[in-house]
Each structure stands twice: as C-alpha cells, then as structure tokens.
C-alpha cells in the first residue's frame, strides 16, 4: 500500500534513449506500473521521439520529455524539467555524464541511480561525471550482485554504497498453448551487436547439423544483421533461420518460440531472460552476469561456456528430444518469476526508497 505522501511525489525517470533494450524496457514497465499506482511519473529521454518504446508509451499516460538541441539548449531544458520533479531516477551512465554541468541543481533534488549493465559505455568523461555524481546521488542500485561489483570498479563507486534491486517484468495475462511441431523453435531477442554473439548460435546449427531438429527466429536489429544474413546464406540455413526485425509486443515474440537462447559474452540481468521465463519458455544461456544464479535457482534451463558450440549443441539436442524436460523447465521458470520478479513487487521496493528520501 502506497502512502498518500509518496503518491504525491513527482518522479522523473532519465534514460539515454527509449530504443529497444533491457534498461529501457525496465523503465517502461516501471513507469507504467507506478502510473497505475496513481503516481505522477514522467520520463526524460535524450533519444528520438521515434524510439520504439516511446511509441509504446504514447498509448499510456506516462509523458516523455525529449532533450535535444545544442549543449546550451540541452542544459536549459534539463534544468527547467528537473525543477518540476521531486525524485530524479537515473538509469544510464550516459545520463550521469549528460548531467555533469547541471549537477549543482541536482543537489537540491532526491536522486536515485540504477545501474543496469555490467560494462561501461565507451564515453569520454564517464568516470569524472560519476565522481561528481557521488555528491548528489542519494541511493545507488544495481540489477544484480555481479553488476554491483563490476560497477564499483568501472565507476570508482564504493561497492558498499550500491544495493541490489532486480529487474521486474509484466506477467502475461494468458498462458501459451503450444501445438506439437516436428521441430523445436529456438529464439533470440536482442540488439544485433557483436557482444550478443548471435553468430555462435548460427554456426552451432550449421556445424552440428541441427537444422533437421530446430528452427531459429532472430528478433531484433542492429549493425551485425548484414553479417549474420551472409553467414546464414553461406551455411545454407535460409529455410531454418528467420530474421524477425524489432518486435516490441512480447505477445508477438514468446508464443512463437519454444526455447530462448542467450549467447552473450557479457550481461547484467537481461530482461529477455525474465520475460521468457514469465511466458514459461526455458532458456539455454552463457554463464555471464546474474544469469547462472537465476537459471540455477529456478531450474529453468541449461548453461554453457561462452563460444563453446559443442556444449550449446548438446543442450539444444536435449531440449529437442525430450519434450518433458522442455515443459518442466519452462514451468519452473514461470513459477520462479511470478514469485520473485513481478514488476509490481519491484515497483513497491522502489516506493520504499522514494519514501525514505521524502523523510530525509
């Protein structure tokens, strides 16, 4: 139950963009949940009005304020905007850097900073801006313990000052009824960038002759797309692998796949893992970030070493040849997410800290 004085607080979530991504998805989910709680919530974005999640949010009551123009105009826009809010909730190291020149104004605000990923963006001035931010940030959170430890070193941030609040997902309103199919449908959901290592999955299907057992749907887009399409053509896998482009609606993704695959070389706590589990989809993933903790605790899938295609192929075969294993691990994941990662529960945890700030 949210008290009246917390309900009256005005909350501004700050992101570098609202393009497709894990941090951006969390901000969308969290903002909508808070708005449904009756709170006054808005988003500051340095991205474009055409960003995918901004289009989705246009259908809600959550207002998005886009910061644009030259550096002077941006600073004026930021100052005017933050003056209208009580809590400034930052979700990106790039935003910390962008706020460097307006940091004196943030000393007058209640500021929360959530660190979503394990690695720092390659931006000049990140460490300097983070040293300054320590003066105005009241609470710092990370989405996993491994992210907390990594961020402490990257940003020169005291690890004991970083608390962990996990990502949350919206639970699907309906169950998935999957028809029996001759082949297992694998799925990846991510930006097509090098660190996601989607090419490992494509190579695995080709080198271990899995195309007779599985199909693959690749959801997402990015700079690696042309390279991946060339690889698919080279391995003659066009009949087994389909590029689905960016799809925002989870109901148009997870009901179409039987098993989620994550091949990344680095992650924090990826939203796609939690979303897939919420839909009862088992997962095969690399041992990175907080993923091993979640998969082990929930028994929702299998783990493999980064770029170990033999391990990946073996796990895919187990899922393909044992429907009972596939279904059991999917059910395990759904139960675990419902208990630990519902967005309403995560929103309530943040509300407690908003309330603590108001009491200070």
215 & 280 share domain: yes
Residue 179 lies in a domain: no
164 & 21 share domain: yes
Domain harbouring 210, CATH code: 3.40.50.2000
Per residue in 318-349, pLDDT (tens digit) is 999 999 999 999 999 999 999 999 999 999 99
Instruction: Please give the structure tokens belonging to residue 114.
Output: 């959530």
65 & 136 share domain: yes
Residue 285 lies in a domain: yes
Buried b (16+ CB within 10 A) or exposed e, 133-149: beebbebbbbbbbbbbe
116 & 262 share domain: no
Residue 352 lies in a domain: yes
Q: Which residues contact 276 (CB under 8 A, 6 or more apart)?
A: 187, 189, 254, 257, 260, 282, 283, 333
pLDDT at 154: 74
- Could you list the residue range(s) of the whole structural domain that residue 95 is in? 4-168+342-359
The residues facing 261 across adjacent strands are: 284
pTM score: 0.82
- The count of structural domains within the chain is 2
147 & 10 share domain: yes
330 & 349 share domain: no
Percent of the chain with pLDDT over 90: 75
123 & 38 share domain: yes
Residue 162 lies in a domain: yes
Residue 177 lies in a domain: no
Per residue in 94-148, pLDDT (tens digit) is 999 999 999 999 999 999 999 987 555 566 778 889 999 999 999 999 988 888 8
Given a cut of 50, whether residue 315 has pLDDT beyond it is yes
Per residue in 161-212, pLDDT (tens digit) is 899 999 899 888 666 666 578 899 999 999 999 999 999 999 999 999 999 9
Per residue in 236-245, pLDDT (tens digit) is 999 999 999 9
Residue 174 lies in a domain: no
pLDDT at 73: 97
208 & 93 share domain: no
Residue 241 lies in a domain: yes
50 & 92 share domain: yes
């Amino acid at each position: 139950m949210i008290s009246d004085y917390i309900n009256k607080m005005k909350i501004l979530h700050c992101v570098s963009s609202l393009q497709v991504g894990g941090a951006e998805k969390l901000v969308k989910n969290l903002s909508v949940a808070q708005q449904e709680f009756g709170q006054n919530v808005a988003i500051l974005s340095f991205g474009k009005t055409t960003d995918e999640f901004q289009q989705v949010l246009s259908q809600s009551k959550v207002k998005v304020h886009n910061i644009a123009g030259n550096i002077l105009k941006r600073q004026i826009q930021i100052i005017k905007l933050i003056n209208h809010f009580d809590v400034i909730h930052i979700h990106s190291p790039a935003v910390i850097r962008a706020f460097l020149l307006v940091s004196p104004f943030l000393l007058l605000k209640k500021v929360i900073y959530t660190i979503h990923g394990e690695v720092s963006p390659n931006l000049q001035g990140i460490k300097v801006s983070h040293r300054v931010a320590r003066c105005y940030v009241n609470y710092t959170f990370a989405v996993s313990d491994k992210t907390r430890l990594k961020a402490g070193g990257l940003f020169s941030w005291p690890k004991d000052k970083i608390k962990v609040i996990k990502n949350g997902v919206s639970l699907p309103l309906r169950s998935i009824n999957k028809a029996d199919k001759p082949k297992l449908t694998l799925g990846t959901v991510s930006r097509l960038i090098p660190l996601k290592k989607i090419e490992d999955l494509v190579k695995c299907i080709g080198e271990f002759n899995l195309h007779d057992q599985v199909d693959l749907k690749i959801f997402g887009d990015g700079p690696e797309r042309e390279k991946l399409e060339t690889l698919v053509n080279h391995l003659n896998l066009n009949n087994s692998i389909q590029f689905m482009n960016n799809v925002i609606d989870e109901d148009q993704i997870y009901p179409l796949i039987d098993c989620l695959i994550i091949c990344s070389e680095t992650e924090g706590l990826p939203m796609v893992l939690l979303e897939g589990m919420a839909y009862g989809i088992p997962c095969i993933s690399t041992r990175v970030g907080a993923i091993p903790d979640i998969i082990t605790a929930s028994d929702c899938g299998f783990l493999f070493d980064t770029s170990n295609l033999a391990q990946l192929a073996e796990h895919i075969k187990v899922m393909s040849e044992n429907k009972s294993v596939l279904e059991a691990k999917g059910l395990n994941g759904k139960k675990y997410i419902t208990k630990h990662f519902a967005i309403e529960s995560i929103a309530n945890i943040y509300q407690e800290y908003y309330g603590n700030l108001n009491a200070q």
